[in-house]
Structure 1
């Protein structure tokens, strides 16, 4: 098992090297500058679209703008915000949070471009149904010689969208709070089996059921989590300015945790990509299902994701962890258990119970959405007519994820995310002029 853990670490480190991080960071900066910061100037219109204005139920697609955003956020708004932030702070120190902010800021422009393309270049699967996603963008809009990029995205997507990380962390939280004195392997297997049954109940209902569940419970759980963090931060209000200053100073310190300036930058940006998925391409599959003929509208809705996901929720989690102070000597605590310990230290059993509820719901909705992403990748590679078989494999990996170590599942999923980003960013940079032209046309017709 130790050899497998080291192999997963080496794999993730090889993928998330300087070239990939620069591709995401500089690519997002290019999109912002190239568009004249257009996405940032239309947040009001984007919010209106997400809230249901300008819905077009008669146009092609499966989801409304709001449902597409909820489905995408249910894939990002979860353990990456709670557990992933803890992993980032332990690995890179407070400075990692700063680079998560930077990644989110440029990720706004990245999501605008990628998700606009997701609607602009939808393609038919083998059953003739309209689909969106980076693999369809590549197939429909790029030269045939670049088709292997679509295959790379789909193969990496089959791994990156597996629910092992969510199952692992949810199992750890349940075991720690309810079965801490029992045999870990036996308890983990039992918890994994129950989780698999719950996930299977939803994913066998299809995308509409996933979106319905996400729209219903996601806002409530996010509001509850924000209320918890605001309550805790309010009781330490005088410490927050110093913590924010420490985050910024640590980001540029040559002695920063995680291997100096470059090391902490790599950690922060890779964790942000895992959290908000800007440039990775999974979110393009959800937004590509939007019911609209206006690609720019969906791009505007999609850009709200990094703001809510990383700039707000991840920042609150990071401040809670930094206030508690246990990130410097985590001991046996890792990921979700570190965050849980921070809430327990500050809010007692009430904080642990509320975090348990939030984590249970958010990790479940993430797993529901990840099934949809993985199924689309499977259908692209092997045919939509056999896509339904993927559900059984997906549900089985919930049990597997509950049994293996955090290092194995996190690094495996993280590396797959990195591989998915390569074709997504390549295609988006190639096609950026078409998004810019479409945006100019859209705002000429709709001068908001």
Structure 2
């Protein structure tokens, strides 16, 4: 064989080149491609679609390369040791026996032989081979794949556990949140557990007292228990505590509409802040306007007109409070003589009636002057009758005890005999509306002979 360094001929059995001193490389260079080719050939014979995947190829290549380098280094170390032992023996011979085999080396001839217990035959695994058993490579690849699968399963399991933990935390937070309390309350309410539902809704109000959903839900519980007064009081207390919160007003308005009390909507909005009334303008119903000034006293029958921005006006003239069942306004209202109280409401497009607007009107017809009474004041010596002139539409009343006459006094029905002696006679007229005229007074003295 020739030296791979300088090309000189090296005798058989010589461990180094005498010309350049380079050691003889008995084992050929390890080439990992041999393993790869062997694995591919085996995969082809086995019928696999993919004898060796890319990932295993790269890892195997690198691993085998490093293993081959390690094997060559170990062989060089052993060869150097043998060389040193052979040269120090000066032509001697070293023999080593292990088991039934025998190993002998001779530095004179440069031959190396081994017995492995089979009668000196060369067998087993040759030191010159540089390949790895394909079956072992397959098992190693399977182990790597199994490790990857286990790692993948662990990652997935960890991810599932993480998701479960996050879901549990979110669920816990939700159950204790405002929405969670309302949700649990609604479920309890649907199952007929009213007290339990009320507890959840009260918890929700405690968490967010300025929101309206919990008030509406709790009102349904009160109504289910036939306790409408408690539901209404709950809303009124909430409005008193939070007079600027529109959501509470909206919840209260919905309650009044559901319980057919639309007139109460105007009551709660009457004193609401301007910004609240502005946001809830569709529920605000302004009262109607009156065409007559109630501070004036009229001397004749009047026509009262009512106007409104709403869809309808309802009114009463007997002093009672109007509602949608009262007289609907279509034509001007006749204001007769005397005092008339007109009360009216306006209903807007949302069906919300306004607060009643009430006015009192007075019509007084001009009355006659004090009644004419004959005879006039004087002294009389013969029997005489007293006569009162009564115009149409009036009734006369009189007294003879010096008191002023009223409708409770003696009614005049015809001439009156003048009493003997001194008499103070007073007379008054009363019209159909109970208005009295001035009083006429006469002083009579009747002395009969």
Bigger strand fraction: 2
TM-score (norm 2): 0.15
Higher relative contact order (CA 8 A, sep 6+): 1
Bigger helix fraction: 1
